[in-house]
Structure 1
Amino acid sequence: LWVIWFRVLFCYIFATLNIVRFYALDRVFNQKKPFTKVASLIAGAIVIVFNVVFCLVNQLVSDELTVQYVDTFEVCNVTQGFRIAALVTQWILWAGCAVLIFRLRNIQSSFNEFRESLAIFAVIIALLTESTVTYIHFKYYTLEKNRRIEKTLMDTVASNLIVWLIIGYPVIMSIFRRHAYEQSWVERLAKDNNKTAYEFTSNQPNTTSYAKMNDNGDSAFNNSQLNIGENETIDYQYSNMFVDPGSLRTDSSTLRTHGAYNDSELPMALRTNLHIRRPVLNSPSMFNSNSPAPLPGNRAVL
């Protein structure tokens, strides 16, 4: 019971869940198809059916054909046929993982985990090779204390190493370089151009937000979140906005930028000779019929 439903089933679940995850990434980024709720349910159902059927069949057949507990030695006798069937199934599953990992090697996304996946795959293949040699060559390894210790040690080290290959770098960076790692991760997500899907904003505290005209010529906010495109948020900090508020005149020291100042490259709301007001949701603006009266000289208010 323990060998079939815990040791074997756990190994199969880990391999099949990796296949489902890799298939989801392949479907989205390589095939350009959505991985919908229905698709995820189907994939999950296939995983459950495959694993349960394999273990259930081995549970229902005679113990003499699979795993039999020997009272005299207080050990389980695993038949050679069951060992071969279990190992062959494992090799087939991880061969499928290898194909999907290879297909995902060049996806341009924050979900590109090729190096981590390759490292985990290498650990799994090493462990699977060691298990194959042990189970086939040493048929009665359970009766040898040194062999049992070696097998247990290999399984323990490999299982813990796999976990730390996945979470090690994020955990260490989050502890010792939290802010820098967070900024790097946000920038990485921004390069994917999937801000809506990721539900995050790349607007940082020192940037200026402004309303964007939609296709109908109206200014609009998207659920109180400004609709900011990839190149529309500019990191400018302001000192003294205008030298002479009456003339709205600026000089070259007004804007402190990270690069050469070019007025023509700024959004309209940031150019000179405009009275700039930070937009507030549901407040009057020049884009609706309730805009306030113009300033002297027919200067508009943003």
Structure 2
Amino acid sequence: MSFEFTPQEQTRVKLAHLGGVQLDPIGHADLAVIAVLSSVYFVNFAAVAFLVRNRNYPPLKSKYPFLMAAIMISMFIYFLGDLVLKAHVHVRGRVLSNCMLFCVWMRIIFGAYMVSVLTTIRSYALFCIFLCNRAFRGKYACCAAAMATVLAIVFVIVTYTMPGAQTVRYVPLIEMCSMSYAYRAVVQGLLWLVWIINAAINFRLRNITSSFNESREMFVACAAVFTLLAFNTVILYTHPLYPTNMALRITETLCSHMIANFLWWFIMFRSMYNCAIHRDTYLAEWKDKLVRDGLQKQYQIARTDPFSVTVVSVASSNVAKLVSLPRGMVTDHDGFDARTSFSRHSMVSERTPHMRHVDDGLWRPESARQHTNPAFLFSPHSPPNPVEHSSSTSTVNDSTAPLTRYDFPLPPKSA
């Protein structure tokens, strides 16, 4: 493929001029764009390989490595589709002139839409963890994947039911793929919808207490993408044949992919850099910060503070009630902790009206029934000193009066 002003390219420019289209020839500027972005994606794929190889490193694992790898692959597919739609290469031959393949399937569905929907799913995963206190797996992950798939299927059905002239078609005169105004509206509407959903999720995440600024990362992503979407929408309707203008097609391509790559690296750079350069030191700092902020559950990191709060359920004779207790009360010596494993609340059964007269099995969590070790760190016969073992994250006050707001049965006062 030549990027020189060959006789064949001169003929293409003249034919376009006769048809009333001012066409800038494909030249070295297009080659430079291809070379620069190809180099960027080469580095990106090396980073993805490093990410997947170190996917069990906790700071990287918390970033959803396979999801971020899929986003990068979709960005590259989007880049390949852009090369054809924006005429950075000569759109000739049976393969490259297949506009439905490159523009619809590669650039839109497996490119722009996939990047957008995977980023939204990542936001939804944070929503499940930080606001719903549920792991992003099982029905939550399946529901998100199903909704994304259904939306893509609807888009494909709309694409193939519309007349060919109203979607994407090949224009032999200028050797380019052309997208109709109606189909541009469908595509832009799909992308705007996905990112509005993403923004709504991140709005709900705005007040989460996060050690590593996940909400800030996604806010920056939404702000940058909305700016890019607005720019692309304006270009699509004010300059419908913008690929014929060298300055516009280069600007649009560079902006799209530089912003997309910036967002990916904005999320991943710190963890990947420290994994490569300061692996052990950063991991220790990362875990310490989680312990201070009380976010071990969200990041699935084993606790180092045995008196952090664990929520348990106390079943009275009338109604089950929730109580916040130090973790040491409901944890086996074998280290099993229902909170760090995303399990449901530990269950506690009250056998008598007076908590001080029950046996040691009172505080045994339901999840610990799977374990054979009967030893526990705490029993009602030997309660820990509330002052000595108080924790900054504890929700149980030392005085008796404020405990009434937790609505759980208290032992009667001694005569």
**Common fold by TM > 0.5:** yes
Find the counterpart in structure 2 of residue 18 from structure 1.
119
Mapped partners of 1:164, 1:154: distance in 2? 15
Provide the secondary structure at the position in 1 that maps to 2:208.
coil
Query: Which structure would you say has the larger RCO, counting Cα contacts within 8 Å and 6 or more residues apart?
Result: 2
Find the counterpart in structure 2 of residue 292 from structure 1.
none
> Per-residue deviation at 1:126?
1.9
How do 1:249-268 and structure 2 match up within 5 A? none
Mapped partners of 2:206, 2:222: distance in 1? 13
Change (3 A) 1:114 1:78: same
Find the counterpart in structure 1 of residue 159 from structure 2.
58
Provide the secondary structure at the position in 2 that maps to 1:69.
strand
Mapped partners of 1:30, 1:196: distance in 2? 10
1:40 correspondence with 2:145: no
Change (3 A) 1:50 1:151: same
Larger radius of gyration: 1
> Per-residue deviation at 1:60?
4.2
Find the counterpart in structure 1 of residue 188 from structure 2.
87
1:113 correspondence with 2:214: yes
Pick the aligned partner of 1:4 from 77, 99, 104.
104
Mapped partners of 1:25, 1:36: distance in 2? 12
Find the counterpart in structure 2 of residue 294 from structure 1.
none
> Per-residue deviation at 1:167?
0.9
Find the counterpart in structure 1 of residue 200 from structure 2.
99
Mapped partners of 2:236, 2:105: distance in 1? 18
Q: Deviations over 1:213-271 (max 9, x none)?
A: 877xxx9631xx488x9xxxxxxxxxxxxxxxxxxxxxxxxxxxxxxxxxx969xxxxx
Number of residues of Structure 1 aligned to a counterpart in Structure 2: 218
- Report the TM-score, using the length of structure 1 for normalisation: 0.63
Find the counterpart in structure 2 of residue 76 from structure 1.
177
Provide the secondary structure at the position in 2 that maps to 1:181.
helix
Change (3 A) 1:36 1:111: farther
Mapped partners of 1:201, 1:265: distance in 2? 19
Pick the aligned partner of 2:302 from 184, 200, 212.
200
Q: Please tell me whether the aligned partners of residues 221 and 263 of structure 2 are also in contact (alpha carbons under 8 angstroms).
A: yes
Q: Deviations over 1:255-293 (max 9, x none)?
A: xxxxxxxxx969xxxxxxxxxxxxxxxxxxxxxxxxxxx
Q: Deviations over 1:144-193 (max 9, x none)?
A: 22221111111221121111111112122333433332112111333435
Mapped partners of 2:210, 2:282: distance in 1? 17
Q: Deviations over 1:104-143 (max 9, x none)?
A: 1221244751211122222212211211111010011122
- Report the TM-score, using the length of structure 2 for normalisation: 0.47
Pick the aligned partner of 1:146 from 247, 257, 277.
247
Pick the aligned partner of 1:165 from 262, 266, 282.
266
Pick the aligned partner of 2:257 from 156, 175, 195.
156
Q: Please tell me whether the aligned partners of residues 110 and 192 of structure 1 are also in contact (alpha carbons under 8 angstroms).
A: no
Find the counterpart in structure 1 of residue 128 from structure 2.
27
Mapped partners of 2:170, 2:211: distance in 1? 49
Q: Mark the runs of 5 or more structure 2 residues left unpaired by the alignment.
A: 1-99, 306-326, 340-386, 390-415
Mapped partners of 2:149, 2:212: distance in 1? 25
> Per-residue deviation at 1:7?
1.4
Q: Please tell me whether the aligned partners of residues 127 and 155 of structure 1 are also in contact (alpha carbons under 8 angstroms).
A: yes
Amino acid at match of 2:171: V
Mapped partners of 1:139, 1:32: distance in 2? 47
Change (3 A) 1:134 1:193: closer
> Per-residue deviation at 1:54?
0.2
The more displaced of 102-111 and 125-134 is 102-111
Q: Please tell me whether the aligned partners of residues 169 and 178 of structure 2 are also in contact (alpha carbons under 8 angstroms).
A: yes
Change (3 A) 1:193 1:139: closer
The more displaced of 24-33 and 79-88 is 24-33
> Per-residue deviation at 1:201?
5.4
1:130 correspondence with 2:231: yes
- Quote the RMSD (CA, aligned, Å): 3.1
Q: Please tell me whether the aligned partners of residues 67 and 79 of structure 1 are also in contact (alpha carbons under 8 angstroms).
A: yes
Q: Mark the runs of 5 or more structure 1 residues left unpaired by the alignment.
A: 204-211, 230-263, 267-302
Pick the aligned partner of 1:221 from 333, 347, 359.
333
Q: Please tell me whether the aligned partners of residues 296 and 303 of structure 2 are also in contact (alpha carbons under 8 angstroms).
A: no
Mapped partners of 1:196, 1:31: distance in 2? 11
Mapped partners of 2:299, 2:217: distance in 1? 24
Amino acid at match of 2:104: I
> Per-residue deviation at 1:67?
0.5
Change (3 A) 1:90 1:4: same
Identity %: 27
Change (3 A) 1:67 1:141: same
1:49 correspondence with 2:150: yes
